Every structure is written in structure tokens, then in C-alpha cells.
Structure 1
């Protein structure tokens, strides 16, 4: 049964829509604040559909992510205690609290040590909101915070656009050929992680 090939074809069709850049910007903005889906999910098919505009799409995603990061930072700084129950209900509170403790210790030593930690965090496949909220709670200085987010997230989106631009039609053909096994492996990994998290004592 083919499941992911039709979804991939639909994503490519949506990525050619005239409003796709706007939707990419909205997704990137929301992901930096609260939305759980990373913008690369939309950026990749957009770059595949129009490789020559890939860097423009990456710039839209980065600029929107940075704007969202500022909002997430401010919410973390001024409204964290108010939204703790909601974050706990979403299952994010433990991760954000852990990042807050780590950032607080590092920032006390040097704001620029926190900068390098955030650069690594921005490049890692971890939801950006964890770092934006934690940085606001700790009070990481705004300049190191914005620079770290720009470098960390910028590397991700521009490297993706570059890889697709260099790969061109070969990258698209390869993805079309392997989309089903890639999709099923990713789904099985996701199910495995969810089951592991739900097992008694998994969080211990």
C-alpha cells in the first residue's frame, strides 16, 4: 500500500501554490513559539518544486523564525509562570525547565557560552520553541540570542536549499523513488519513541 508517495505529490503541488511562501513564513513563525511541526517539512518540497528559488524560500523561513523567536523569548521572559500549566499539559514543561536550568548555569558563567549552546541547539532537530522560551526565562542577552538563532537555524534552512539546488532533478528523482521506505521507517521510529515514552518508568 502506497501512503507516502501520494502525500509527497500533494506536498509538491501545494509548494507550487502562489501563497506557499506566505504559508511557509507563517509556519516558521509559529514553530518558534508553539507549533510542533518544523518548517523544513514545507521548505523541502518548495525547494524541490522550484530549486532556483530555494535560497529565497530559506530566507523567508529564517526571517519568520527569528521574528517568532523574539516573541517566544518575550513570552518566556514575561509570561512563563502564567503559561506553565498549559505547557505542562502539552508535555513541553519538563524539556523547557531542563533547558532553563542548563542555560541559567551557563549564562552565569558567560553570555557567549550560552550563545554557542544555542547555536548548537538551533541546528539540532529539536523544536525551536524550547530554546526561545528558555532563553527568555533565563534572560539571555538579546544580541547573543538573536545571533545564535540566526546561525543555528540559518545553517539548517540554507544547507537544505543548497543540497536540493546541487542535487536538482536527481534529488527529486531519488526522493520520489525512496519516499515510501523513508516514510515507513520514519513512522516506525516515531511510533517506537511514543511507545517508549508511554512505558512505565521510561522517563526515570
Structure 2
């Protein structure tokens, strides 16, 4: 099925890349990654332009996925996507929405899960678009640049190792968000203690 979908969009070239990436951000279950790789294999010299087309289309589709989640809610996800993807994304957004969106933008979990769930949970649409812009740029352009520089030799790297690299980056980002969170809590507690101490001093002086 994945191959058939890629072959279909591949026939339309850049337009096919745009359409696939656009609907990928909304509800389509098969990622635009496969069409990007297929088209990049055909003409590696156009791989960066192809990545740009896919990237722009994805950003245009992101707010539409958000609105679908906002209006129709979670049931539509269960109709089109795997439960394990939905459960992972839901847990991530509940724990730390910002980190979940950024990491989800370039991990193997389909991004439409995050766009729709962001709408379901009323996550900021501007933050969603901002983090999508960062994460999706990484995902599209690492493929585009690899094919542009190394041609068809990049296929094995992209198909076999890219997922592991992105997974490693996701772990690093999670660690950074965790440190930031702990530091923020510690700073907040320190400020609150200082305020309490100041109130006690004022009360004694009074």
C-alpha cells in the first residue's frame, strides 16, 4: 500500500509532493517521507527544492489538522490511525505539550496525530506552528540535503538509519526539556521561599 501511494504521488512530481505533504499534516495515514525519498532518488539535484515544497505544504496543512481536532475531537483519530500512536502522542502532550510537539515533528510517529490532538486539547495553535516549523524543517531537509550531496547512495542511510538518528535527537531534546523544567521549578521554589521569608520579617517588624 505504501509503495502504491508513493508511486501515485510520484507521477505528479512536485505537485504530488505538495499534495501528499499537505494531507499528511491533516489526516492521511501514510507519511510524505516515502514520496520525498522516491522523487529524490529519481532526481537528486532537485532534492532540496523538493524538501522545500514538502515543508511549505506541511506547514500549510498543520492549522487545518488543528481545526479538525478542535471541531471533531479524538474519535476521528481512532478511525484513521493506530491506537499505539494516539496513546503515545496523548501521553506526551499531557506531560509536556511543547516538548511533545517539537519532538513529534521529526519522529516516526505521524505528525497529524499531534496536530489533531493539539486541537483536541486546545494547545496554542501558534506554538504548534512554531514547533512544527522547527521539527519539520529538520525532517524534510536532512533527507533533501543528503540526496543532493550524495545522490542515490543516500538511500540506504535514509531508509535504514534516519529513524535511529531522529530517535537519538528526540532523547537529547527530552533531556534538555527535563533539565529546563527542573531548573524552572527550583527557581520558582527559591523565589517563593524568599517571598515567605520577607513576609515573616515584615510581620515581626510590624
Q: CA RMSD in A?
A: 3.0
1:14 shift after superposition: 7.4
Contiguous gaps of at least 5 residues in structure 1: 1-6, 107-113, 183-204
1:165 aligned residue (148, 160, 164)? 148
Q: What is the TM-score of this pair, normalised by structure 1?
A: 0.65
1:24 aligns with 2:17: yes
Deviations 1:157-184 (A, max 9, x none): 1000111112125446x79xxx9xx8xx
1:88 aligns with 2:82: no
1:135 aligned residue (115, 118, 121)? 118
1:105 shift after superposition: 4.4
1:90 shift after superposition: 3.6
SS of 1:139's partner is: coil
Count of aligned pairs between the two proteins: 156
Provide the residue aligned with 1:55 in structure 2: 48
Quote the Cα distance in structure 2 between the aligned partners of 1:14 and 1:71. Answer: 21
Provide the residue aligned with 1:110 in structure 2: none
Provide the residue aligned with 2:165 in structure 1: none
CA separation of 1:59/1:46 partners in 2, compared to 1, >3 Å: closer, same or farther?
same
Report the structure number with the largest CA radius of gyration.
Answer: 2
With 138-147 and 161-170 compared, the bigger mean Cα shift is at: 161-170
CA contact (8 A) 1:31 1:65 kept: yes
CA contact (8 A) 1:30 1:68 kept: yes
1:73 shift after superposition: 0.4
1:99 aligns with 2:69: no
With 94-103 and 154-163 compared, the bigger mean Cα shift is at: 94-103
Q: What is the TM-score of this pair, normalised by structure 2?
A: 0.64
1:154 aligned residue (104, 113, 137)? 137
1:145 aligns with 2:128: yes
Provide the residue aligned with 2:33 in structure 1: 40
Quote the Cα distance in structure 1 between the aligned partners of 2:9 and 2:107. Answer: 27
CA contact (8 A) 1:135 1:145 kept: yes
Contiguous gaps of at least 5 residues in structure 2: 161-206
Deviations 1:69-103 (A, max 9, x none): 1111011012216xx1x543445456435533542
Structure with the bigger RCO (C-alpha within 8 Å, sep 6+) is 1
